[in-house]
Amino acid sequence: MTKIRLAVLAVAVAVAVLFVGSAAVSAQTTVGANTTRACSLLPGYTMADVVETARNFEWADDTAPGLVVINSKVAASGGLEFDFLVNFYWPSFSDMVEKQSRWIQSQGGAYPSPAFEGMATCGENMRMSSIRRATDPLPTGSSIAPVTAMMTTNCELNGTSFDDVMAGAKTLGDNFGALALVTRRNFGGPRIPFNSTVGMRFVFPSFDDFGAGMDKINQNPVPVAQNGPGSMSCETGSLWAAYRIHSRNN
């Protein structure tokens, strides 16, 4: 099968255990960078074709992102008109710029759009976000499956402090048994008031852990914020299958 060609600065959620270093619940936690593009399958192809091809791509050490994850829709809210997202994660914005600069120089200034050799089409306009981990690192010896469940939601801050957002994400992540990540969109996407909205991503070790986490939190609901005017409000969540494609030094 033809190997995938992905732009190194291209393409939200998630298996982010590799790139956010601090476990403190604070706005000062280490900030990673995430670029996302939406893609749609072409007739005759499946997610299995895309994932296999992507995993066969040969990443150069001096231009590779920290992590590449493909997220396909399982139960996505909002009538999204695409089949999957390709997410590139970087330890920092500086690392992203360094690796992308090398890519551009190696290509003589050319910057190709992400292409799946006739399997799928991807939008030209990407989103770029900062990302922080709210939960502690996984215990030694633990791992996230190559394909696992990820939940996402977007939340209106309504004046809620970022420290409170991180604390709420940690509470939910700890009770779900999932890695909790908080994102803030910096560039791209629909226009919104700056610093008005955050995203939350919950990455489970496996689909079985997702089922167990949902049962636990449904049977023992955990409040994460006060209700009423001025409190953070979150939209209906989306469930994704998260395919780990590449991790640096894997």
- Where are the domains positioned within the chain? 16-241
Widest CA span of the chain, in angstroms?
57
* Residues 139-152 pLDDT 10s: 666 678 999 999 99
State which of 44-48, 74-78, 104-108 shows the largest mean pLDDT: 44-48
C-alpha 212/C-alpha 161 separation (Å) is 30
CATH match for 16-241 among 1.10.10, 3.40.30, 3.30.70, 1.20.58: 3.30.70
C-alpha 40/C-alpha 73 separation (Å) is 11
List Cα–Cα distances, 122 to 50, 73, 99, in angstroms: 12, 15, 22
* Residues 77-98 pLDDT 10s: 887 889 999 999 999 999 988 9
CB 186 within 8 A of CB 93: no
C-alpha 7/C-alpha 173 separation (Å) is 32
C-alpha 179/C-alpha 157 separation (Å) is 21
List Cα–Cα distances, 162 to 100, 101, 134, 183, in angstroms: 30, 32, 11, 11
Is the pLDDT at 6 greater than 90, yes or no?
Answer: no
Is the pLDDT at 227 greater than 70, yes or no?
Answer: no
